[in-house]
């Protein structure tokens, strides 16, 4: 099994799709390499491409507020995206881009071995939980897949566009905190 550093090194020079040639920085992932909780978004945005760190723009700042609200320190989690390079103009990832990059995410998951994976938004949930995932109807529902507990929440960028969903997000985040606490009690 590859270490995160080894996965990063192989990803660093990736040219499996056209995005490798257009990125400013590789946006691999960040956080606790032994995290019990892993968040997975769809792709880096402009701020992420500039810094090489996922979820540092406005959406990331909102995610930080939700983590703080439910007492989950960002330092305790690992955050990554399906894509490691920014699509032009922040468009949705193309299926062939996801296919080219998903192996890196799988290797990250194997190296970290989280108990819980939270999909940030519809695209991540459709790729990781099930292809017909409906974020409005199924956010906050739990699935067991591949030995992990998985759920999806609204993408923080969607909450910036539609603040009415913030209450649902807070409830989902509380449930994630509860699932973490249940996992701790089982050990």
Residue 45 to residue 155: CA distance in whole angstroms: 13
| pLDDT number for residue 186 | 63
CATH number, residue 174: 3.40.470.10
Q: Which of 180, 127, 118 is nearest to 155 (CA)?
A: 118
The number of residues making up the chain comes to: 187
For residue 53, is it within any domain?
Answer: yes
Residue 130 belongs to domain spanning: 4-180
Residue 62 to residue 60: CA distance in whole angstroms: 5
| pLDDT number for residue 2 | 87
For residue 187, is it within any domain?
Answer: no
For residue 109, is it within any domain?
Answer: yes
| pLDDT number for residue 185 | 66
For residue 105, is it within any domain?
Answer: yes
| pLDDT number for residue 135 | 97
As given in the structure block, the two tokens for residue 49 are 């491409």
**Tally of structural domains, the chain:** 1
Cα 102 vs. chain centroid, distance in angstroms?
12
Evaluate whether 172 touches 139 at the Cβ level (below 8 Å): yes
Tell me the pairing of strands 148-153 and 116-120.
parallel
Full pLDDT tens readout for the chain, 187 residues: 889 999 999 999 999 999 999 999 999 999 999 999 999 999 999 999 999 999 999 999 999 999 999 999 999 999 999 999 999 998 999 999 999 999 999 999 999 999 999 999 999 999 999 999 999 999 999 999 999 999 999 999 999 999 999 999 999 999 999 999 998 666 5
The total of other beta-carbon atoms located within 10 Å of residue 81's CB is 27
Residue 96 to residue 47: CA distance in whole angstroms: 24
79: β partners: 30, 39
For residue 14, is it within any domain?
Answer: yes
């Amino acid at each position: 099994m590859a270490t995160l550093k080894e996965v990063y090194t192989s990803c660093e020079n990736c040219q499996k799709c056209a995005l490798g040639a257009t990125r400013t920085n590789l946006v691999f992932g960040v956080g606790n390499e032994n995290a019990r909780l892993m968040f997975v978004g769809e792709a880096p945005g402009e701020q992420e491409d500039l810094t090489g760190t996922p979820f540092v723009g406005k959406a990331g700042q909102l995610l930080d507020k939700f983590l703080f609200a439910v007492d989950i320190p960002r330092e305790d989690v690992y955050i990554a995206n399906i894509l490691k390079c920014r699509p032009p103009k922040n468009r949705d990832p193309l299926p062939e881009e996801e296919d080219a990059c998903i192996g890196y995410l799988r290797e990250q998951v194997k190296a970290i071995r989280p108990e819980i994976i939270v999909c940030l938004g519809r695209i991540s949930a459709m790729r990781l939980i099930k292809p017909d995932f409906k974020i409005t109807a199924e956010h906050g529902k739990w699935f067991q897949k591949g030995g992990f507990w998985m759920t999806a929440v609204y993408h923080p960028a969607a909450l910036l566009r539609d603040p009415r969903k913030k209450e649902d997000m807070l409830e989902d985040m509380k449930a994630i905190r509860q699932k973490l606490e249940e996992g701790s009690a089982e050990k």
